[in-house]
Amino acid sequence: MKNGIIPVNKPQGFTSFDVIAKMRGILKTKKLGHAGTLDPMATGVLPVFVGTATKACDILPDNDKAYKAEFVLGQKTDTGDITGKVTEEKDCSVFSQKDILSALPKFTGEIMQVPPMYSAVSVGGKRLYELARKGIEIEREPRKIEVFSLELISFDENEKKGELYIECSKGTYIRTLIEDIAESFGAVATMTALCRVKASGFDISECVTLEELSAMDDFSEVITPIERVFSYLPKVTLNEAQTRMYKNGIRLSLSRIKNLPQGERLAVFGGKEFLGTALADKEKGELIIAKNFYDR
């Protein structure tokens, strides 16, 4: 089994862990991980890391995400989406597309957002969703998020249903964003569908379904090399002797490395093999290993 990343289009009704469990059976390997958990009702991009690539799950450089989210005006639920219990209903017939469009600029850029009770945020050692399931609601501190792009794709004036396109930073709760947008012009809303179309540098057009994976005998064509997610880093290539030393954990002298690029953090290659990331310590004059991704 090769090491790398398989971008999966997560199906509705599956947890992110369900996808990993299914893929362990398909790929016949246990060493799998994922980045960016998706709720069961959500679909879309879920990068699954295979083999030594699992070391990158928590250090991905690109944490920005993009979503397409459907919503309906007129009701609010305890979870913020249609899987929850309706907690409020309101006649929203007076609100139009114009109201939504006028509200969007207020939620673009850096904003503060209060995480929902039905979330994995930990407060006092307890996950918020654990408290919510017991009927307990506690005060939550607002968190800074950034919404890079917020567009109304469509809106049905009769049914009061619409769809948004959102590009945002890590930690953004789309269902809360929809509730807040509606509240800003006096309405209530709930999210009815969510699809993550971009995550960790992958687009949904690159994703493979679990059904497609199940039908494959050779997975090499769908595994993306781990170095792709570090392609933004300056590249340094070691010679054969330096590669051996690097793999043995020896700090290399920067003065002995040819064509050393500028930059503190580097992507390190031994010939064509991606070895990992390293720090160029200019004060000590050494190349210090940060994270290895090669097979030992």
Q: Which residue in the block uniquely carries the two structure tokens 């991980």?
A: 33
- Check whether residue 43 and residue 73 sit in a common domain: no
Note whether 48 and 32 are within 8 A (CB): yes
Q: What is the CATH number of the domain that holds 206?
A: 3.30.2350.10
**Prediction pTM value:** 0.87
- Check whether residue 244 and residue 269 sit in a common domain: yes
- Check whether residue 112 and residue 218 sit in a common domain: no
- Check whether residue 174 and residue 73 sit in a common domain: yes
- Check whether residue 115 and residue 18 sit in a common domain: no
- Give me the pLDDT at residue 63, please: 72
- Check whether residue 180 and residue 275 sit in a common domain: no
Q: pLDDT tens digits for the chain (296 residues)? A: 588 999 999 999 999 999 999 999 999 999 999 988 888 899 999 999 999 999 888 777 667 899 999 999 999 999 899 999 999 999 999 999 999 999 999 999 999 998 876 666 676 677 766 766 777 676 778 899 999 999 999 999 999 999 999 999 988 999 999 999 999 999 999 999 999 999 988 999 999 999 999 999 889 889 999 998 898 899 999 999 999 999 999 999 999 999 888 888 999 999 999 999 999 999 999 999 999 998 77
Name the residue range of residue 219's domain: 4-58+202-227
- Check whether residue 71 and residue 192 sit in a common domain: yes
- Check whether residue 90 and residue 182 sit in a common domain: yes
- Check whether residue 285 and residue 217 sit in a common domain: no
Helix spans in 144-185 (H): 174-184
Q: Which residue in the block uniquely carries the two structure tokens 């309706």?
A: 86
Q: What is the DSSP letter of 135?
A: T
- Check whether residue 262 and residue 275 sit in a common domain: yes
- Check whether residue 76 and residue 140 sit in a common domain: yes
Q: What is the CATH number of the domain that holds 241?
A: 2.30.130.10
- Give me the pLDDT at residue 82, please: 94
- Give me the pLDDT at residue 140, please: 74
- Check whether residue 42 and residue 129 sit in a common domain: no
Catalytic hit among 39, 81, 99, 180: 39
Note whether 57 and 44 are within 8 A (CB): no
How are beta strands 161-168 and 65-73 bridged, if at all?
A: antiparallel
Q: Among 227, 244, 265, identify where a domain stops.
A: 227
Rg (CA), the chain: 23
How are beta strands 43-50 and 189-199 bridged, if at all?
A: parallel
- Give me the pLDDT at residue 292, please: 92
Q: What is the DSSP letter of 53?
A: G
The question of whether 39 is a catalytic residue gets the answer yes
- Give me the pLDDT at residue 117, please: 62
- Distance from C-alpha of 74 to C-alpha of 179, rounded to nearest angstrom: 11
Provide the 10 A C-beta neighbour count for residue 152: 15
- Distance from C-alpha of 188 to C-alpha of 205, rounded to nearest angstrom: 33
What is the torsional sign of CA 195, 168, 75, 85?
A: positive
**Type of residue at 193:** A
Identify the H or E element spanning 214.
helix 210-214
**Count of domains in the chain?**
3
